[in-house]
Chain A
């Protein structure tokens, strides 16, 4: 059986003008099955965002093959949506208009759009803020809008690029719990980039650890903790054990990176 998401031998080199080329992906292989919650961790600057952008269809790899459900990815598509790291909200649009962005581009009628955005705004708990502009919201609220916007078009695959990195610890914990609830109900496939081992271990079915740049997958750790997971689970010995295993693998790559930084 073909994997739901399959990246094979992806290569991508950035060639900025007047600067040295940067190889971000070198022979990257990755697979994910439908409905899976997969986290990607790796040294910063290794190529995680690059990979998500390839999967989203915004970047074209130089070579290699990337498929969703057996179909080659050649551009953006409605079955995929991204929750961006710095929220990526259009500042001149209200919360409601931001949530409706994808629907609007899909050509959905205004009345249907309104109804759908109302549902999602309720889902992420932003009732009463429909007509607010992004600058009037806290970081946590902005990312709720980002999440609602990505869910609005009902994609099968949700890509999340360090979505909670800009949030304070408590908001972050809350958002993680809510994300798990939403994922549990909506049964989406989630690819979640984070630099927090704790976050990866808590949320995921599997954690993929990536090498320092250029990115390849170094190893994959399966998280066999029961679901639904609650906050107390994070205190268990088992959970700490998993965290330690991820850390062991990641540490080597972080060292490579700091060694490489000196050159």
Chain B
């Protein structure tokens, strides 16, 4: 008995959270069995079991995989480029006031502009293939990474820089021993934001102009009243976002072992 209680208390958080989701799904599933939906409404209505069936069919026909592959490619390429550009530029702008002054106007102006305004141009220039989407993902993801890295570098403790210098550290060692560890948390927070924006970029980009990808699949299904297919897309995006959020949180808590508990959550 106590073992059962222990089992519960250790996992209470997950059991309650998971249980509530399960409850909602059951409630949703039972709606058509409890009330008679008017014909017009039932056209737009679906149930979890139907979504699951559709998902299975699409899986068998290899359709979701194909769309997923395109979306994932856009996401990974765009985010990868954003990391490749955002991190070094953030570090450089944080350390050098000349670079800071040079790039700051662009960063501020571009970051303040809603990224969607670039979409028509990008599609004109890059076409309906993956590269217009890669670019929109890049534009969305690069700024949170750049700005957070920059903030982290700027917030470095001068005293700690002096401490390691006094023990004979050179510029590179100062970077490695103080500036980087100090910025790491900021960078991870930036990464979390960047992932959210990257996923948004994929969805919006594909809604607007694409022939392949989960977003395109959803847009097409919606115009054909295939509510089940739209929900399959929603579920996949939710699952992916959740996985990424949890992964980044894991990384974050690994990196914050040296921090007092209270400061842990931003």
Contact = CB atoms under 8 A, between A and B. Distances in A.
Contact of B258 (A53, A81, A86, A133): A133
Contact of A88 (B160, B177, B181): B160
A57 interface: yes
A135 B164 CA distance: 19
Interface string B169-181: 1000100011001
B33 interface: no
B18 interface: no
A214 interface: no
Contacts of A94: 258
B159 interface: yes
B178 A90 contact: yes
Contacts of A92: 181-182, 258
A12 to B, nearest CB: 16
Interface residues on B, range: 10 to 19
A25 interface: no
Contacts of A76: 165-168
A106 interface: yes
B259 A58 contact: no
A105 B258 CA distance: 21
Nearest to B257: A133
B98 to A, nearest CB: 15
A133 B181 CA distance: 14
Contacts of A78: 168
B30 interface: no
A84 B258 contact: no
B167 A90 contact: no
B163 interface: yes
A153 interface: yes
Interface in A75-93: 76-78, 80-82, 84, 86, 88, 90-93
A195 to B, nearest CB: 19
B181 A90 contact: yes
A84 B169 contact: no
B162 interface: yes
Given A58-B162, A90-B160, A90-B178, A135 B168 contact: no
Interface residues of A, number: 26
A102 interface: yes
Contacts of A91: 258-259
A101 interface: yes
Contacts of A148: none
Contact of B167 (A53, A86, A102): A102
A56 interface: yes
B158 to A, nearest CB: 11
A105 B169 contact: yes
A221 to B, nearest CB: 29
A92 B156 CA distance: 13
Given A76-B166, A78-B168, A86 B257 contact: no
B38 interface: no
Contacts of B164: 90, 101, 105
B173 A135 contact: no
Contact of B166 (A82, A133, A134, A135): A82
B167 A58 contact: no
B62 to A, nearest CB: 47
A135 B163 contact: no
Contacts of A105: 164, 167-169, 173
Nearest to A103: B167
Nearest to A77: B168
A77 B159 CA distance: 18
A253 to B, nearest CB: 27
Interface centre among A76, A81, A106, A133 (most CB of B within 10 A): A76
Contacts of A84: 159, 163
B259 A101 contact: no
Contact of B177 (A86, A90, A153): A90
A93 B169 CA distance: 16
B232 to A, nearest CB: 44
A91 B177 CA distance: 11
Interface string B140-168: 00000000000000000001101111111
5 contacts: A76-B168, A86-B159, A91-B258, A105-B168, A135-B259
Given A80-B166, A90-B160, A101-B164, 17 more contacts: A58-B165, A76-B165, A76-B168, A82-B163, A86-B159, A88-B159, A90-B177, A91-B258, A91-B259, A92-B181, A101-B163, A101-B167, A101-B177, A105-B164, A105-B169, A133-B258, A135-B259
Interface of A: 53, 56-58, 76-78, 80-82, 84, 86, 88, 90-94, 101-102, 105-106, 133-135, 153
Give 3 nearest A-B pairs by CB, closest first: A102-B167, A88-B163, A133-B258
